[in-house]
Amino acid sequence: MGAGGSIVLLDPAFIDPALGWRLAFLIGTTIGLVILIMRRWIPESPRWRITHSFVQEAAAVVREIETHSGRRPRATEPPRPPARLRMHHHTPLAEIARVLFRTYRQRTLVGLTLMAAQAFFYNAIFFTYALILINFYDIPADRIGWYILPFAAGNVLGPIMLGRLFDTIGRKVMIATTYGAAGLLLAGTGYLFSQNLLSAQGLTIAWMTVFFFASAAASSAYLTVSEIFPLEIRALANAFFYAIGTGVGGVAGPLLLGVLISTGSRGSVAIGYFIGALLMIAAATTEALWGVAAERQPLEAVARPLSYIES
């Protein structure tokens, strides 16, 4: 929607681009407002409701999920031992710090590596692509959207087509594979760009291919940090790792690429791409060594709740 909107809003035949690029930001604002409305239709997690004393409401949510999905636990499935939870309305910051940096410090390292690498990779390339097209390929600003549109399509298709494999093949294999593939493809694209072997259309096709895997990899990072920690801090863990990852990689990436683009040297820009590739490959290695195989496991088996009561 952003890319398609920019095709119109940056075209002088329709609107003054000086105003159009500002109006383009309203696309994101509109989506945000829609999400505020949609949020009213989505129930809280049954686990959250249980730990906040809403036991009957939690049971109602589970019944509704079973009704809509048309699936109930099969009789052939081995019964899982029940988990008893105490009411746990909030988690002190000291306990959160203990969980992240002592109890699960290895998982914290994995989460930070995944989030920082994908933030650098994603933001460095996506946010500077218009500058690359303008400075190295002389593409007019009002034509940028036509190049961003297929780029964005690759981002959408990756998670849609690869997402189910994270549940079937497994988390560790797929996360390491998508991160590694994105890193290697980025390195190859960087080399071809440095040698001036790619046209603007060729570079767009290359980015569609790279981000087919990279978008699934980035999505898996958010998935990872929200499921490998105790259920009481899942949302907070996601926010924490997103903030740190964006602060480290999301800020450094565009700044570095912006400086390298300003040199006018393809070789300098390629160095930035190679750095992003190395970070993605390092993240793939980290996941392969220390990642958590959380597929098809109840959250209590992945990380024991802080409110767990011993039998």
Domains defined for the chain, CATH in brackets:
95-299 (1.20.1250.20)
Residue 144: the pLDDT is: 85
Q: What percent of the chain has pLDDT over 90?
A: 50
Residue that has been written with the tokens 């398609």 in this structure: 4
Encode pLDDT of 75-122 as tens digits: 556 667 777 777 777 888 899 899 999 999 999 999 999 999 999 998
Which pLDDT score is estimated for 76?
A: 57
| Gyration radius (Cα) of the chain, Å | 22
Which 3 state secondary structure label does DSSP give 85? strand
pLDDT by residue (tens digit) across 223-255?
899 899 998 888 899 999 999 988 888 788 888
* pLDDT tens digits along 286-297: 999 999 999 988
Q: What is the pLDDT of residue 28?
A: 87
Q: Give the residue ranges of the chain where pLDDT is below 50.
A: none
- The pLDDT score that the predictor gives to residue 220 is 92
pLDDT at position 75: 57
Q: What is the DSSP secondary-structure string of 219-274?
A: HHHHHHHTTSS-GGGHHHHHHHHHHHHIIIIIHHHHHHHHHHHHTT-HHHHHHHHH
Angle 70-75-77 from CA coordinates, rounded to 5°: 95
Note the pLDDT of residue 18: 86
Of 264, 272, 18, the closest CA to residue 141 belongs to: 18
Q: Which amino acid is at 29?
A: T
Tell me the CA distances in angstroms from 201 to 95, 137, 149, 208, one per residue in order: 52, 10, 12, 11
